[in-house]
């Protein structure tokens, strides 16, 4: 009987990569589709395929009902009054609440508000005004879910916010958007929030916080959840195809998530590096301070220093901004080694005052009289009258 020689099939590869690679790729793709698609399907209260577009509220038409309307550069910064109350009417347009179950407010307060409410007025029936407490995070983005509020129904003819803050504290508002929460809208928010530019912070050199603050789904846990589900799907596929799952595939999924996060971080660092070079490269230290975000505080410190008489090493700040720790801290830094005192209960003769707006004081330069706003008035010597600060010395 002739012997039979078995020749291995050269067309089939037995390498682990050829066997496990396609299974891992299918598992990773399936994990992304299941998690992203599942979240969008559950969160799309406005319909999966509805065509309603987000409604961007025009801030130039918004109105400060109580407080002051102020601009800081390109950002609108409505400011609380002397009692710390800020009321802003965002829009008085008639809106169909069924089309917009979420309000997205890109805003950041000088200090965290002690309380915050969203208010709206019904356009039909009695025209009642309703309010909803906001769990204000003060990290730059507030997302207010309205779909489950029983009073958010029918048509409304105005939306506003009411905040209780520190006196004269400002709320910097970048945008206010009513979201339809359709499938397309939520998917677009994913892309926008995960890839939003993240400016320098105390953590920037070490890791990326995760794009836009307060995102719908934080980027870091989402990446590793995708990796975990991908391994479970891969494990099932491998068993189903009669091959032993490899631990190396699980490690590969973790590395893919890590590399994706690291690449996003590196791109953000390079963007920050480019913007920083444009702003500061080749400039003197004075020019760098004048180009920085706190340039106005630096210029204020310079005006105070120039207005001080020879030999004076201490100045007392008279301003409603003295309640803001960030402002006072930066001003002290720029004035060092000069000592900065916050308005004391008793003012000694010869004390030098720096009066910075907004302030409840009233200065009569011609008569040399200063009303401190608390019933006290005193004679003063005018030292300087700069647009940023008025310097006086008590007689």
Q: What is the pLDDT of residues 23-78, one digit of tens each?
A: 999 999 999 999 988 888 887 777 777 777 888 999 888 999 999 888 876 788 89
pLDDT at 24: 92
Q: What average pLDDT does the segment 4-23 reach?
A: 63
Q: Please name the residues in contact with 234: beta carbons below 8 A apart, sequence gap of 6 or more.
A: 20, 23, 24, 26, 27, 28, 245, 249, 253
State the Cα torsion 282-285-290-291 to the nearest 10°.
40
- Do residue 48 and residue 61 come from a single domain? no
- Do residue 159 and residue 70 come from a single domain? yes
Number of domains within the chain:
3
Q: How many CB atoms lie within 10 A of CB 51?
A: 9
CB 357 within 8 A of CB 278: no
Tokens representing 254 are 């973790």
pLDDT at 230: 95
Identify whether 161 is part of a domain: yes
Reported in sequence order, the residue ranges of the chain that DSSP labels E, i.e. its strands, are: 55-56, 63-66, 71-72, 75-76, 85-91, 95-96, 102-109, 115-122, 129-133, 142-145, 155-164, 171-179, 314-318, 339-342, 352-355, 362-364, 369-371, 377-385, 390-394
Q: How many CB atoms lie within 10 A of CB 255?
A: 11
Quote the CA–CA distance of 40 and 28 in Å, as a whole number: 18
pLDDT at 26: 94
DSSP annotation string for 330-365: HHHHHHTTSEEEE--SSPPTT-EEEE-SS-S-EEET
- Do residue 44 and residue 142 come from a single domain? no
Q: What average pLDDT does the segment 329-353 reach?
A: 85
- Do residue 147 and residue 249 come from a single domain? no
Whether residue 279 has pLDDT greater than 90: no
Q: Name the domain boundary from 151, 179, 207.
A: 179
Q: Which long-range contacts (CB under 8 A, 24 or more apart) does 197-202 make?
A: 197/268, 197/271, 198/268, 198/272, 199/272, 200/272, 200/276
7 pLDDT band (50/70/90 cuts)? very low
Identify whether 239 is part of a domain: yes
- Do residue 315 and residue 371 come from a single domain? yes
Q: Name the domain boundary from 154, 179, 204.
A: 179
212 pLDDT band (50/70/90 cuts)? low
- Do residue 129 and residue 145 come from a single domain? yes
CA 154 from centre of chain: 31
**In which residue are the tokens 């890839």 written?**
195
CB 314 within 8 A of CB 287: no
Q: What average pLDDT does the segment 359-363 reach?
A: 76
Identify whether 136 is part of a domain: yes
Identify whether 11 is part of a domain: no
- Do residue 46 and residue 123 come from a single domain? no
- Do residue 199 and residue 107 come from a single domain? no
- Do residue 62 and residue 89 come from a single domain? yes
pLDDT at 358: 67
- Do residue 248 and residue 318 come from a single domain? no
Identify whether 9 is part of a domain: no
Higher pLDDT among residues 385 and 65, named by residue: 65
Quote the CA–CA distance of 305 and 83 in Å, as a whole number: 31
Identify whether 257 is part of a domain: yes
Q: What average pLDDT does the segment 239-250 reach?
A: 91
Q: How far is CA 34 from CA 20, 46, 187, in A?
A: 21, 20, 14
Identify whether 355 is part of a domain: yes
**Of the candidates 310, 334, 321, 302, which has an alpha carbon nearest to the alpha carbon of residue 393?**
310
- Do residue 272 and residue 247 come from a single domain? yes
DSSP 300: H
202 pLDDT band (50/70/90 cuts)? low
CB 210 within 8 A of CB 218: yes
Give 159-183 pLDDT, tens digit per residue: 999 999 988 888 888 889 898 888 8
Whether residue 281 has pLDDT greater than 70: yes
203 pLDDT band (50/70/90 cuts)? low
Q: Name the domain boundary from 159, 179, 199.
A: 179
Q: Which of 87-91, 199-203, 385-389 has the lowest mean pLDDT?
A: 199-203
- Do residue 302 and residue 376 come from a single domain? yes
pTM of the model: 0.65
Residue range(s) defining the domain that contains residue 248 = 23-53+186-281
């Amino acid at each position: 009987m002739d012997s039979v020689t078995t020749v291995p099939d050269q067309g089939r590869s037995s390498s682990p990569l050829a066997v496990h690679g396609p299974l891992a790729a299918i598992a990773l793709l399936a994990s992304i589709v299941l998690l992203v698609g599942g979240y969008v399907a559950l969160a799309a209260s406005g319909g999966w395929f509805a065509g309603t577009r987000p409604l961007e509220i025009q801030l130039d038409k918004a109105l400060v009902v109580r407080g002051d309307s102020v601009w800081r550069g390109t950002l609108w910064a409505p400011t609380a009054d002397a009692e710390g109350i800020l009321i802003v009417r965002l829009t008085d347009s008639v809106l169909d609440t069924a089309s917009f179950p979420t309000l997205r407010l890109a805003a950041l307060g000088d200090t965290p508000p002690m309380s915050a409410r969203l208010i709206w007025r019904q356009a039909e029936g009695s025209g009642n005004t309703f309010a909803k407490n906001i769990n204000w995070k003060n990290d730059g983005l507030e997302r207010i879910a309205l779909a489950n509020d029983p009073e958010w129904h029918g048509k409304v003819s105005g939306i506003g916010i009411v905040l209780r803050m520190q006196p004269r504290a400002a709320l910097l508002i970048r945008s206010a958007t009513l979201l339809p929460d359709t499938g397309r809208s939520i998917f677009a928010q994913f892309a926008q929030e995960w890839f939003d530019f993240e400016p320098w912070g105390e953590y920037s050199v070490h890791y990326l916080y995760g794009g836009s603050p307060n995102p719908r789904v934080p980027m870091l846990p989402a990446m590793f959840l995708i990796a975990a589900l991908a391994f479970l799907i891969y494990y099932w596929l491998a068993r189903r195809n009669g091959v032993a799952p490899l631990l190396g595939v699980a490690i590969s999924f973790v590395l893919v998530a890590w590399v994706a996060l690291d690449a996003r971080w590196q791109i953000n660092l390079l963007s920050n590096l480019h913007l920083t070079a444009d702003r500061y490269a080749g400039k003197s230290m004075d020019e760098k301070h004048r180009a920085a975000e706190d340039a106005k505080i630096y210029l204020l410190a310079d005006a105070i220093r120039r207005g001080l008489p020879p030999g004076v090493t201490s100045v007392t700040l008279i301003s409603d901004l003295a309640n803001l720790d960030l402002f006072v801290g930066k001003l002290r830094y720029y004035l060092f080694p000069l000592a900065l005192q916050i308005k004391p209960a008793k003012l000694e003769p010869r004390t030098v005052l720096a009066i910075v707006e907004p302030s409840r004081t009233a200065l009569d330069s011609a008569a040399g009289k200063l009303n401190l706003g608390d019933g006290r008035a005193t004679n003063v010597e005018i030292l300087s009258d700069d647009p940023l600060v008025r310097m006086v010395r008590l007689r």
